[in-house]
Each structure stands twice: as C-alpha cells, then as structure tokens.
Amino acid sequence: MGLRLRDTVGHQLRELRYEPTAKRIRAELNGTTVVDSDRAVLVWEPRRVVPTYAVPAEDIAAELSPEPPGSVQADGDVGFALPDVTTMPVLDPRIPFSVHSAEGEPVAIRIDGARYALGFRPGDDELSSYVVLDFDGFDRWLEEDDEIVGHPHDPFQRIDVRRTSRHIRVMLGDTLLADTRRAKMLFETLLPVRYYLPPEDVVAELQPSATTTYCAYKGKAAYRSAVTAGGVLHDIAWRYDEPLVDASEVRGLVAFFDERLDLIVDGVARPRPETPWS
C-alpha cells in the first residue's frame, strides 16, 4: 500500500525530533556573542512546525540558571489548526518558546546578571547535554557568516515559485478585489499555495498597514488592508519589497489571505484553506 508523505509528517509531529547541522551557529545578545558552536542540532518539540537551534551547554558563554519566569507545559488544546497535515493543534511560531511540549528543564541564559534569553534542557537522553535556544530571545543569529531571520530553515522544507497564465480572481462575495492572468504561484512545503499578483491587477484600494512579519524563507512582509464598500479588511494582503533570495521572484507582488476570501481559478472556486491564519 502506498504511503502519503504528508501523513508521515503529521505522525512525526507528535514526537521530539532533531537533526544535526554542519553549519557554525552564532547568537548575539547585547552585542556579545553568547553562542558559538559547530556542534548545533535543529530541534522540533512535539507539535512544533518550525525548528530552533540547540547547542552543547559548553558552547554557551553565559550563566545558565534554572526556572525562568513564565515557562509552562503545553496541553493538548494549545495551538492552531492545520487539518491537511494533522488532527492535532500545531504550535506555530506565534506560540512562544516558553510553552513547552517536551519533558525537560527551562533555563535562563544570563549575561551581566541582568538581561537573559530563554533556553530548555530536554529530558531526552539523546539531547541531554544540549540547550535548546529561544530564537526570538537573541538579538542576532549567524549561520556561518550570513545573518538569518525568523527562525532556522527546515532542511526538509522548501519554496518554489512558478509563473502561471491561469485566470485568477480574488473575491469577497460579489466584490472583486483582484483579477489577473499574470500571477506567480508560490509553493511552500505543508502550506497552501499562494498566488502573488501584480499590483496593477489589484482592483481594490489597498492601504499600507503598520503590521510586518518575518519569514525565514521569504524575508520581511509588509501588510495591506483592503477598502471595500462593506468596510476595511484589515491586514488581508501582504508583499515582499526586499525578499530573500529564494523568494526574489515575488518581489513587489501582492498576495491575499484566501483563508478569508474567495479564490477563483479558471472559473472554479477553491475551498478556503484552514490554517493558523484562518
């Protein structure tokens, strides 16, 4: 019997997972290099969908103290839906590092006795000498000599961009927001395909938003709100004006959250995907 790979990934999400990397990893805090390791591993706690780095404790040039404030154990209801992958709520990057789904000891990584970042010593025998690091708790991360943002790349995930001449319309009920045959489709592992449209093919008035997010694969996203006769659709669209290399082909193009809109492809309405952004 054939095995659907996505089902395998969904099953593995239940486990504590790790993968060694050959990259030299450095992390800075208050202008000081606190982490410097060529023995790092990528770690996914159960239900986490993106990895973070863990390094041997001796590769951390700071004091490790137990029980930082705010650490909690995740129960089975914490998280967001990703039904195309698993029936469990997943822990996406919006769930803070202080929420843990594996057994272990939370620690604080302190410099100068004041500012600190969070860490976690897993109880698993394979990782017992490692400290898992809160990516957002540090000021700057380097893989070799290149800075990274958002979170480390998953070596088993990728993005692809392809041009398409399909007829794409973005609707909200009877209201047309965009209409194009010049879209670019961005495929990202385990996520819905996204359609990036030329701004001149967007019919709706788009207003800049103060909201920004960071994607480890695409870079900094700037959001837009759409003005319609029925009201303002806040942060319904986004664009990458200075994308990372892998997403260079969608520079300046506009994508919409089709979780909250209607996407019509060659006259056929697509089901609205259910994701953490629904």
Residue 224 pLDDT: 98
Token look-up 């056929």 returns 268
Residue 114 Ramachandran class (φ > 0 left, ψ -120 to 50 alpha, else beta): alpha
Task: Please determine whether the domains at 5-148 and 159-269 fall in the same fold group of CATH.
Answer: yes
Q: In which band, very low, low, confident or very high, does the pLDDT at 69 lie, cut at 50, 70 and 90? A: low
Q: In which band, very low, low, confident or very high, does the pLDDT at 175 lie, cut at 50, 70 and 90? A: very high
Give, in words, the CATH class of 159-269.
mainly beta
Fold of 5-148: 2.170.150
Q: Domain boundaries in the chain? A: 5-148, 159-269
CB burial string 166-191: b at 16+ within 10 A, e below: eebbbbbeebebbebeebbbbebebb
pLDDT tens-digit profile of 104-162?
A: 999 999 987 677 899 999 999 999 999 999 999 999 999 999 999 999 999 999 999 99
Residue 22 pLDDT: 97
Whether the predicted model's global pTM rises above the 0.75 cut: yes
Share above pLDDT 90 across residues of the chain, in percent, rounded to a whole number:
81
Q: What is the mean pLDDT of residues 191-207?
A: 97
**Backbone φ and ψ of 258, nearest 5°:** -75, 0
Count of CB atoms situated within 10 Å of the CB of 11 = 11
In 3D, which of 115, 255, 134, 260 has the Cα closest to residue 184? 255
Q: What is the mean pLDDT of residues 65-91?
A: 83
pLDDT tens-digit profile of 237-269?
A: 999 999 999 999 999 999 999 999 999 999 999
